[in-house]
Structure 1
Amino acid sequence: MPIRPEHRHFYPIDWPQLSAVIRFGRAGGRCEACGRPHGHVIVCLNEGTWYDAEAGGWRSGRGRLLRREPGVAALATVRLTIPILATCHREHDTSRNGDADLAAWCQRCHLIHDRPEHIRRRRLTYLRRRALGDLFLGPYPLS
């Protein structure tokens, strides 16, 4: 997620360098949650299973090697994707930038981790828009 202007003062001035150290130094260019490599084209299935060319096998959405290959029906939903790593705050506290507070995650893992926060924000946005409608348009019809 891009840094919002009102939150920019929470991040240190050397955030780009710190982010690079976390993503490529500590994590070695791979997602710390599922192991997807940064910037490489990978084959994915709908449920998050992906093919790891280095290991020569399929991995689950959490990065574990699968014992059996996916069936033919699952392979019909194959798509190609390029994971991009981002440095993320584990506890959503942007003022804490220690090594243990940051993680290198791909877009998928980052969205999964942030899902409760996104649901909360979506609800607030919905309520805010509804309140504006009440304020300017009057009560909503009962139908």
Structure 2
Amino acid sequence: MPIRREHRFFYPIDWRELSAAIRFGRAKGRCEGCGRPHGRAVFCLSDGRWWDDDAASWRDGSGRIVCTAVGGDDVLATVRTTRVVLATAHRNHDTANNAPANLAAWCQRCHMLHDRPEHARRRWLTVFRRKALGDLFRGPYR
């Protein structure tokens, strides 16, 4: 996940090397949340299950092998393909804390699920600021 220009100051100068060490050294090219392999296209279902070619089975959002009921519902009708890209994330959202225990190698899905509360907080703050600017300069906000 690219770092925004205004946030680059908060990351260390050797972030690329640190990120590569976490993603490919410690995690060995797999998501630490669900186990998806970096750089591969995987088949995904809407509930988070994905097809693991190496194990030849479906895995859930946590990486555990699951069985799908045959004939229960049409699983193949809802399958989509996604390319997995690993990113190094801060577990506590503090970019100054670059300890290995605070860093995690996550795929897009796990990263977004982890950041959901933070994104909601930032969205609320953005809407709040826009309303405040509307009240100050354009009258009542519509």
Whole-angstrom CA distance in 1 between matches of 2:39 and 2:136: 48
Whole-angstrom CA distance in 2 between matches of 1:18 and 1:120: 28
Percentage identity across paired residues of the two chains:
65
Q: What is the Cα deviation at residue 32 of structure 1?
A: 0.2
Greater CA drift, 63-72 or 98-107: 63-72
**Corresponding position of 2:93:** 92
Show CA shifts across 1:95-131 (max 9, x none).
Answer: 1111111000001100000000000000011111111
Does 2:30 correspond to 1:30? yes
**Corresponding position of 1:61:** 61
Residues 90 and 102 in structure 1, CA contact (< 8 A), matched pair in contact too:
yes
**Corresponding position of 2:45:** 45
Unpaired stretches in structure 2, ≥5 consecutive residues: none
Does 2:122 correspond to 1:121? yes
Q: What is the Cα deviation at residue 92 of structure 1?
A: 0.5
Aligned length in residues = 141
**Corresponding position of 1:3:** 3
Whole-angstrom CA distance in 2 between matches of 1:113 and 1:137: 37
**Corresponding position of 2:112:** 111
Residues 43 and 80 in structure 1, CA contact (< 8 A), matched pair in contact too:
yes
Residues 58 and 69 in structure 1, CA contact (< 8 A), matched pair in contact too:
no
**Corresponding position of 1:79:** 80
Residues 131 and 141 in structure 2, CA contact (< 8 A), matched pair in contact too:
no
TM-score, normalisation: structure 1: 0.91
Show CA shifts across 1:5-62 (max 9, x none).
Answer: 3432332211111111100111010000000000101101111100000011000011
Q: What is the Cα deviation at residue 137 of structure 1?
A: 2.1
**Cα RMSD, aligned residues only:** 1.6
TM-score, normalisation: structure 2: 0.92
